[in-house]
Amino acid sequence: MKNSFSISYKWAMILTVMVVVLLSVGLLINKFFFYDYYLAQEKHEIHAFADSINDNYGDTKEVVKLINEFITKKQASVQLFSENQSLEFSFNLFMKNEWQGKGNGRNNRNTINLPHGIKVDLSDEGYVFFDFEHDAITTQLLGLVYKLDNGDILLVTTPFESLNTTADIAMRFNVYIVLVLLVVAIIIVVLMARKMTKPIIQLTDMTSKISELDFTEKFEGHSNDEIQSLGENINAMSQALEGALTDLQLANEKLLEDIKEKEKNVEMRKTLIANVSHELKTPIALVMSYSEGLRENDVLDDEKKAYYLNVISNEAEHMDRLVRDLLDLTELEYDAFELDIKSLDLSSLIDEIIDRYAYLIREKQIKVQLDKDDIIEISGDKRRLEQALTNLIVNAIEYTSDQGQITIEVSQEDKTRVVIKNTGSRIREQDFEKIWTSFFKSKNKERRIGGSGIGLSIVRAIVEKHQGSYGAYNEDNGVAFFIEI
């Protein structure tokens, strides 16, 4: 028992009190009603014997048999009184079932003298008690005066031990029995109470754990009763609560992710606005400055005017490219588009990009080495992959020194891997994770060659949308960038 007021303790006390009360009532009934019950049983047995004598009175042998069986069993005395004689049978271990003490008719049928000076009136049928003393011993006899159908009188007397002594002995014996039974009953009651309350205690522990959001424990019972039904209902409730809590946790995690994403988007917008403002500030200032120079300075010659106009055009083109890159990056990072997945030839796509920027390659006298098959079939969004490869190839051209080399390798195994290497300055190790973020520019002076810091961010977004991977690493004489689709 967990404590002195547990349900098993209460059940044990209730059942113990019930047992004590029932046993006590049994003792009281035995004390006050045993005498009457015993006397009634003796009277019934004597009267049944008298009835059997009356029924068989014409058959002498049967009567003798019945009498001898009765007096042997009860140690009794049986007397028959007729008009002219009286017959007596009495208990004797050595008797030979013969008629004993045939009378001479001298006894009065109405009144006779029994041994020890006791007189019995035979004129009235019924039960009588006889008390006599012999050698300082008091003995009690129970007798029956019974009139047979032919008018003869049957007198039956049997020893009737003092019931007070018998009742006292029986009472003491019953007390001992009751004490033993009480101990046994208490043990059984405690065991039964524990067995009965065990599932209730289990349900209590189970619901306590459920209140602490612990759904690991399940009710296991086979009683097929209301407690079993309650346990099964609590199991169902526990399972439902666990499912609801899991769904709630998932929803909460999703909400936290959405909140973080929104916070990230807000931060990205702030960063984007700041970076765009910074990137546009210089070309806008140049455009305004040179356009103001053209408007205010009338003495400029044609060569100067052409220079001013060229600067304005280049800066306008730079702003246009920056705005288009910003629009692409916003669309990619905010997942505002769907890929148009189709089969395409990656080899031809790379060749087209090389041809498109051939003038820059010739201008810097760069050697381009292609290590790929003539036809490379893959599935992807052609427009977006072309945009990613263009950014990587143009980035390689910009950062390759004059008369340097660009190598493009394409291999196909589980995934299609494109590696673009260029000779020139290397990337600082601490910058490898940062170069894929928007508007990042390395502080390495050798690699600060124009650019807005958006190109690699666009590459990252496109590759991630294709569920691919990307990366970069330094080589002995330059840098290598790769994507896997």
Task: With a cut of 60, say whether residue 116 has pLDDT above it.
Answer: no
Distances in Å between the Cα of 213 and the Cα atoms of 207, 209, 210 are 10, 6, 5
Average pLDDT over residues 376-393: 89
In the prediction, which pLDDT does 450 show?
41
In the prediction, which pLDDT does 48 show?
92
Cα–Cα distance measured from residue 202 to residue 219, given in angstroms and rounded to the nearest whole number? 7
Which residue's structure tokens are 């011993």?
137
| Model pLDDT for residues 5-20, shown as the tens digit of each residue | 566 666 667 777 777 7
Task: With a cut of 80, say whether residue 354 has pLDDT above it.
Answer: yes
CB-based contacts of 485, cutoff 8 Å, min separation 6? 378, 380, 385, 415, 416, 418, 463, 466, 468
In the prediction, which pLDDT does 307 show?
81
Task: With a cut of 60, say whether residue 110 has pLDDT above it.
Answer: no
In the prediction, which pLDDT does 85 show?
65
Cα–Cα distance measured from residue 10 to residue 19, given in angstroms and rounded to the nearest whole number? 14
Task: With a cut of 50, say whether residue 185 has pLDDT above it.
Answer: yes
In the prediction, which pLDDT does 100 show?
43
Average pLDDT over residues 148-165: 75
Cα–Cα distance measured from residue 71 to residue 92, given in angstroms and rounded to the nearest whole number? 9
Average pLDDT over residues 328-344: 74
Residue 133's pLDDT band (cuts 50, 70, 90): very low
Which residue's structure tokens are 């129970």?
142
Average pLDDT over residues 332-357: 83
| Model pLDDT for residues 238-275, shown as the tens digit of each residue | 778 878 888 888 888 888 887 887 777 677 666 666 66
Cα–Cα distance measured from residue 40 to residue 46, given in angstroms and rounded to the nearest whole number? 10
The residue type found at 216 is T
Which residue's structure tokens are 């600067």?
311
In the prediction, which pLDDT does 52 show?
92
List the beta bridge partners of residue 411: 417
Cα–Cα distance measured from residue 376 to residue 411, given in angstroms and rounded to the nearest whole number? 9
In the prediction, which pLDDT does 249 show?
83
The residue type found at 183 is V
| Model pLDDT for residues 279-311, shown as the tens digit of each residue | 667 677 777 877 877 777 766 777 877 887 887
441: left (phi over 0), alpha (psi -120 to 50) or beta: beta
In the prediction, which pLDDT does 416 show?
92
In the prediction, which pLDDT does 102 show?
41
Both tokens of 198, joined, read: 């065990």
Residue 370: phi and psi, rounded to 5, are -110, 125
The most distant pair of C-alpha atoms in the chain lies apart, rounded to whole Å, by 190
In the prediction, which pLDDT does 34 show?
75
**78 exposed, middle or buried (CB, 10 Å; 0-12, 13-18, 19+)?**
buried
Ordered structural domains, the chain, with CATH? 7-168 (3.30.450), 339-484 (3.30.565.10)
With beta carbons less than 8 A apart as the criterion, state whether 380 and 485 touch.
yes
Cα–Cα distance measured from residue 218 to residue 236, given in angstroms and rounded to the nearest whole number? 10
Task: With a cut of 90, say whether residue 177 has pLDDT above it.
Answer: no
The mean predicted confidence, pLDDT, of the chain is 76
Three-class secondary structure of residue 3 per DSSP: coil
Average pLDDT over residues 439-453: 52
Q: What is the percent of the chain with per-residue pLDDT over 70, rounded to a whole number?
A: 71
Which of 54-58, 108-112, 313-317, 477-481 is the least confident region? 108-112
Which residue's structure tokens are 């994770």?
433
Element (H, E) at 471: strand 469-475
Rounded to an integer, what is the distance from CA 311 to the centroid of its chain?
76
| Model pLDDT for residues 23-80, shown as the tens digit of each residue | 778 778 777 777 778 778 888 888 899 999 989 988 888 888 898 888 888 878 888 8
In the prediction, which pLDDT does 457 show?
82
In the prediction, which pLDDT does 199 show?
75
Cα–Cα distance measured from residue 479 to residue 425, given in angstroms and rounded to the nearest whole number? 7
In the prediction, which pLDDT does 162 show?
56
Residue 1's pLDDT band (cuts 50, 70, 90): very low
| Model pLDDT for residues 87-97, shown as the tens digit of each residue | 767 655 444 44
Residue 2's pLDDT band (cuts 50, 70, 90): very low
151: left (phi over 0), alpha (psi -120 to 50) or beta: left
Task: With a cut of 90, say whether residue 419 has pLDDT above it.
Answer: yes
In the prediction, which pLDDT does 194 show?
73
Task: With a cut of 90, say whether residue 422 has pLDDT above it.
Answer: yes
With beta carbons less than 8 A apart as the criterion, state whether 354 and 361 touch.
yes
Cα–Cα distance measured from residue 340 to residue 381, given in angstroms and rounded to the nearest whole number? 5
User: Could you give the strand order of the β-sheet that contains 478-484, starting from the edge strand earlier in sequence?
Assistant: 367-371, 405-412, 416-423, 478-484, 469-475
Task: With a cut of 90, say whether residue 407 has pLDDT above it.
Answer: yes
With beta carbons less than 8 A apart as the criterion, state whether 387 and 439 touch.
no
- Strands 405-412 and 367-371 come out as parallel
In the prediction, which pLDDT does 94 show?
43
With beta carbons less than 8 A apart as the criterion, state whether 194 and 202 touch.
no
DSSP state of 433: T
Which residue's structure tokens are 């499912």?
243
* Angle 466-468-474 from CA coordinates, rounded to 5°: 135
Task: With a cut of 90, say whether residue 231 has pLDDT above it.
Answer: no
| Model pLDDT for residues 308-324, shown as the tens digit of each residue | 788 788 778 767 766 77
- Strands 77-81 and 478-484 come out as unpaired
Q: How far apart are the first and last CA of the chain?
A: 67
With beta carbons less than 8 A apart as the criterion, state whether 366 and 397 touch.
yes
Three-class secondary structure of residue 410 per DSSP: strand
